[in-house]
Amino acid sequence: MSTRLASRYLLLTSALALPAAAQQTPPATAQTVTVTAPEPLPVAARDLLDRSTVTFDLTDPTTQPLVNSPVDLLRLDPSLNLEERAGSGVQVDLSLRGSTFEQTLVLVDGFRVNDPETGHLNFDIPIPLEAITRIDILHGSGSTFFGSDAIGGAVDLVTSAPTHASATLRLGGGSFGATEQHLQLSGVTKSVAARLTASRDTSDGFFYAGQDDRGFHSNAVALDTFLTPTPKLAPTEVLLATSDRPYGANLFYGPYDSAERTKGWFAAVRQPLPEAVTADFAYRRHTDEFILFVQDPAAYENNHIDTLWQGDLRRVSTPTKNLDVAYGLEADGDSIQSNSLGRHARNQGAGYANVSLRSLRRLTLSVGARQEIFAGPTPVFSPSASAGFDFGHGLRAHAAYGHGFRLPTYVDLYYSDPTTIGNPTLKPETSQSYEGGLNWTPPSRSNFHLEATGFTLRQSNAIDYSKYAVSAPYQATNVGHIAYSGVETILNYRPKFNQQVWIAYTFLHAAPPPAGLISEYAFNYASNKAEAAYRTTYRQVAAITSISIVQQTGRTAYPLWTVNLTRTKGLVRPYARLENLSNTAYQEIPNVPMPGRSMIGGVTLDWASR
């Protein structure tokens, strides 16, 4: 693990830890607390121990061929509802615990990357899968450390410094004219460690034969460099990334043969300083070209250019053995230039503090607060708290509270086309998040972990798009009050060192919308979602199969079944991924059909100096 991990928060490892299942060594206990989260998030050692979290580890090279994008792993968390429009994660909406896709915060190494234009582009990340070493998911409000707009939770894609020289090339192809080419090159010297990654995924589309109306070309390149000019100073991280994704958008935003092309640029610099202080800065630029009618591009075309920057100064201290204190200052801003939305810009600043008591006998306690100042709206104070109690015999209770606040995106405010109309009078969203639950890992069976969490998310002025007539356009509006309540359960079991079973289920409920109202987002959530996965390694083959059952509110449940295999050793490693083996006809977003049965196969060439 990188030496730059000087101050981190700890997440309870409750996810399908794919690499752990593939290793030929006895696994750690199911309740292992793993150092996680990106630098330099100002979270002290146990600040999130009493929160509902999931972590996916991608450090094992055999994991990469088993998935082709972070979306493939995120699907295993049933509290995270994914609504995908195009394959390979080209465009996907993420929502946690009933929140909308705009209320889930997306981060890269702790830097906020939510798109100020629209939340539909929050996960348009310019970083290849091979650059990511871990994915952390926080369920519930993350106001103190991440920002008040983490209303439903946060998804963080984490990178890290390479520890040895390596080279990986993956080439594959399959159904719907799909191809994939992925490259990873790492090098390490005494003063420099760097990882270069690149990916290109394509598809001819599947919707109408002979038409490229749902095809895509997804391209991304990233260079992550760690410089150590002097032993007296921790490594300086410089992350540079870019992406280019043209894709067919047929039916994405209405009954039109649309097309879209996005481009992204991301740059970040991080410098740990003495006295547990870290300074960092990040900049993101994103362009979005949208054509409503492919057959008549001049009739309606949008061109958006938005920017996002973030700078912060953070510190974590440990005054006593059982006390952690984290605090810091942040500043960030965004802007947009658009032929349809106009020119707009916003700036804001924030200060936060958090105190964590690691142990009051069997009790742990964390209390924090965040003060945000906006150039316009009144300042917002967002408190948070969490606590845990150890009953003994591997049983632990936890509870948490958080406050949320989110400004509308520029599309929410100013957009207008034949199917969607923004609203410049929209009010900001506010929320109150509550949760409580139990974790159990029997001392005599450390390979078994069970947890259950009940939660409630109460929102005021939630932003939705709704209408009363099918033929009318959707209008952005505030929903006065809406409350989501539910329960999430997770079972993680390793019967043998080379096997792992993962079963999880989330139930969610909210009062129905007013009679006759057609809601596009706020009331369109997954009311039931179950995931079951099994991974095993036999001789030199790793295999994972997963089955998910999803029921969107008001619709019929549908199953999805996948089987993925790869060779785990040797320079040449064949792999195969079989998706939607049940050939289910399904829609994650109403009126946007998804692909049927498909298969992709190929080979990975893997070399490492170890």
Q: What is the CATH classification number for the domain harbouring 69? A: 2.40.170.20
> Is residue 13, in this structure, part of any structural domain at all?
yes
Q: 89 vs 165, which has greater pLDDT?
A: 165
Mean pLDDT estimate for the chain: 86
Between 434 and 32, the higher pLDDT residue: 434
89 vs 501: which has the higher pLDDT: 501
pLDDT at 389 over 80: yes
Please say whether the beta carbons of 454 and 436 come within 8 A: yes
- Least reliable range by pLDDT among 61-65, 284-288, 399-403: 61-65
Q: Is residue 351 part of a domain?
A: yes
> Taking Cα atoms as reference points, which of 217, 218, 70 lies closest to residue 130?
70
Contact 139, 153 (CB under 8 A): yes
Phi, psi of 176 (to 5 degrees): 60, 30
Give yes or no for residue 19 having a pLDDT over 60.
Answer: no
pLDDT band at 539 (very low <50, low <70, confident <90, very high): confident
At residue 157, the pLDDT reads: 92
> What is d(CA 121, CA 408) in angstroms, rounded to the nearest whole number?
14
pLDDT at 31: 29
Would you say residue 202 has pLDDT above 90? yes
Span of 146-155, 224-233, 431-440 with lowest mean pLDDT: 224-233
Report the pLDDT value the prediction gives residue 208, as an integer from 0 to 100: 61
Structural domain contains residue 243: yes
Stretch 89-110: mean pLDDT, rounded?
A: 90
Is 2 domain-assigned? Answer: no
State yes or no: pLDDT of 48 exceeds 80.
no
Contact criterion met (CB below 8 Å) for 122 and 104: yes
Residue 55 belongs to a domain: yes
Task: Give CA–CA dist 249/252, Å, rounded.
Answer: 5
Q: Is residue 392 situated within a structural domain?
A: yes
Indicate whether 57 pLDDT > 50: yes
Measured distance CA(428)–CA(157) in Å, rounded: 27
pLDDT for residue 90? 83
Torsion angle of C-alpha atoms 131, 64, 13, 102, degrees rounded to 10: 60
Please check the confidence at residue 435 and state whether its pLDDT lies above 60: yes
Q: What is the pLDDT of residue 212?
A: 52
pLDDT of residue 308: 96
Range of the domain at 170: 9-608
Q: What is the pLDDT of residue 27?
A: 28
> Of 179, 181, 178, whose CA–CA distance to 198 is shortest?
181
Residue 335 pLDDT exceeds 70: yes
pLDDT of residue 150: 92
198, pLDDT greater than 60: yes
Residue 3 placed within a domain: no
**Res. 504: pLDDT tops 80:** yes
pLDDT at 574 exceeding the cut of 60: yes
In the prediction, which pLDDT does 359 show?
A: 77
Mean pLDDT across 533-539: 90
SS3 of 7-67: the string is CCEEEECCCCCHHHHHCCCCCCCCCCEEEECCCCCCCCCCCCCCCCEEEEECCCCCHHHHC
pLDDT at residue 24 tops 50: no
* pLDDT value of residue 12: 28
- 65 prior amide bond cis, ω within 30: no
Chain centre to alpha carbon of residue 457: 19
pTM comes to 0.90
Q: What count of residues does the chain have? A: 610
Percent of the chain clearing pLDDT 90 (strictly above): 57
| Nearest partner of 139 among 116, 120, 156, judged by Cα | 156
Phi, psi of 188 (to 5 degrees): -135, 125
**Residue 371, pLDDT above cutoff 90:** yes
pLDDT at 256 over 70: yes
Domain count, the chain: 1
258 part of a folded domain:
yes
Rounded percentage of the chain residues whose pLDDT exceeds 70: 90
